[in-house]
Homo-oligomer: A and B are copies of this chain.
Amino acid sequence: MTKIIRIKDIAEMANVSMGTVDRVIHNRGKVSEDALKKVLEVLEQINYKPNLIARTLSSSKTQRLAVLLPDADLDPFWRSSILGIRQAYSEHNQFGVAVSEYLFDPYSGDSFREQARKALEWQPDGILLAPTLRQEALAFAEACQTNQIPLVCFNTHINELAMLSFIGQDLHQSGRVAAELMAMMASPGTILVTHIGEQVQNSVHIGAKETGFREFMAQKGRNHFEVITVQLASPTSPDFENSLAQTLETHPHTKGIYVTTSKAYEIARTLEKLGKTHVCLIGYDLIDDNLTYLRSGTINSLIHQNSDRQGFLGISYLTDYLVFQKPIPALRYLPLSIVTRENLDSYLSNIDFSQ
């Protein structure tokens, strides 16, 4: 039971006032050589840990956090991120944080720039960003830097982008996990890899998953599998179904399909129509459409990106950084969760974070 050391105690030990100690600790200057030395000496000896409770109570400035992410109505993938963000907000707003959401069209540069402008206009103290568009994100990050606003990114990693922290998953390893699952579940034959629903801009992003997938298959696939990358028509176009049917005809020994995006349900729907549900289908993310087909068995497994947790951690990190002045990790990879029919419910019941 070591008693707590307060600023007041330090002041007494160093024979100075609390104000001086405060100035030294936060090095705000305006301290004489002499006083500085005395205080530092005491600080060396004892292990001062500031009382964060008292600090937040005192400096009751509310920190404004702007969140920039795609509109979930345009891509359901983002629904769970928002849930995590709101959950974090509801847990942290008592520490004096305000969160404002700016939703953009994930494929429209104009939309992004518009929302980014609004976000900066709000004069936030921190920003959480899902950088779906490379060029636009880079420009925005620069704006943040010149404005001295800390930036945390999630979901999509962009190398050259300067940020405080990134929260997401290891895409390369994620591809390996998918391949491992495929090798476990599919019969020997042809495996299709498709990036349905993704834009060209994200080629790096996508490449990592495919590279990981192929790497595993080359190392551990025992030559049982032939991996072929296919480009399908957009799922919104009427050609989509034909395009898939034709691909399957071209590759009659197709035993598995790896969808590197959250759009596996589009494939599943068509496979059911074509009566080809025996094909082993692996995709990403626990969005409603995917769950339907995971339950019916057409989708065999989903890799869970923990998007809810990504959002939650994003807000938590910014709060820690701004409110509590805690150090936060520069990189946080979340687990590559393997979800099947049998453990699905155990994940769904954990979408809340109350801890």
Cα distance A320–B354 in the bound complex, in angstroms:
10
Residues 53 to 71 of chain A near chain B (Cβ within 8 Å): 53-54, 56-57
Are B316 and A180 interface neighbours, CB within 8 A?
Answer: no
Interface status of A284 (Cβ within 8 A of chain B): no
Closest to A317 in B: B355
Residues 1 to 19 of chain A near chain B (Cβ within 8 Å): 1
27 contacts between A and B (CB under 8 A): A1-B98, A51-B94, A53-B56, A53-B57, A57-B57, A170-B346, A173-B342, A173-B343, A173-B345, A177-B343, A184-B184, A184-B185, A216-B342, A312-B355, A313-B355, A317-B355, A320-B354, A329-B354, A335-B343, A335-B350, A336-B342, A336-B343, A337-B343, A338-B338, A338-B340, A338-B343, A355-B355
Cα distance A149–B339 in the bound complex, in angstroms:
39
Closest to A94 in B: B52
Interface status of A349 (Cβ within 8 A of chain B): yes
Please name all residues of chain B whose beta carbon is closer than 8 Å to the beta carbon of A30 when the two chains form the complex. Answer: none
Closest to A326 in B: B354
Interface status of A233 (Cβ within 8 A of chain B): no
Cα distance A44–B202 in the bound complex, in angstroms:
52
Cα distance A176–B334 in the bound complex, in angstroms:
25
Interface status of A169 (Cβ within 8 A of chain B): yes
Are B346 and A333 interface neighbours, CB within 8 A?
Answer: yes
Binding site for B on A (CB under 8 A): 1, 49, 51-54, 56-57, 94-95, 98, 169-170, 173, 176-177, 179-180, 184-185, 216, 312-313, 316-317, 320, 328-329, 333-338, 340-343, 345-347, 349-350, 354-355
Residue from the set A49, A170, A313, A338 with the largest chain B CB neighbour count within 10 Å: A338
Q: Kindly provide the distance from the CB of A101 to the nearest chain B CB, expressed in whole angstroms.
A: 15
Please name all residues of chain B whose beta carbon is closer than 8 Å to the beta carbon of A184 when the two chains form the complex. Answer: 184-185
Please name all residues of chain B whose beta carbon is closer than 8 Å to the beta carbon of A355 when the two chains form the complex. Answer: 312-313, 316-317, 355
Are B335 and A347 interface neighbours, CB within 8 A?
Answer: yes
Residue from the set A54, A316, A346 with the largest chain B CB neighbour count within 10 Å: A346
Are A49 and B94 interface neighbours, CB within 8 A?
Answer: yes
Please name all residues of chain B whose beta carbon is closer than 8 Å to the beta carbon of A334 when the two chains form the complex. Answer: 346, 350
Cα distance A49–B94 in the bound complex, in angstroms:
9
Please name all residues of chain B whose beta carbon is closer than 8 Å to the beta carbon of A177 when the two chains form the complex. Answer: 340, 342-343
Cα distance A93–B54 in the bound complex, in angstroms:
14
Please name all residues of chain B whose beta carbon is closer than 8 Å to the beta carbon of A341 when the two chains form the complex. Answer: 180
Please name all residues of chain B whose beta carbon is closer than 8 Å to the beta carbon of A176 when the two chains form the complex. Answer: 342
Cα distance A162–B98 in the bound complex, in angstroms:
40
Q: Kindly provide the distance from the CB of A50 to the nearest chain B CB, expressed in whole angstroms.
A: 9
Please name all residues of chain B whose beta carbon is closer than 8 Å to the beta carbon of A94 when the two chains form the complex. Answer: 49, 51-53
20 other contacts beyond A177-B342, A338-B338, with CB at 8 A cut-off? Answer: A51-B57, A53-B56, A53-B57, A53-B95, A170-B346, A173-B345, A173-B346, A176-B342, A179-B342, A180-B342, A184-B184, A216-B342, A313-B355, A316-B355, A329-B354, A335-B347, A335-B350, A336-B343, A336-B346, A338-B343
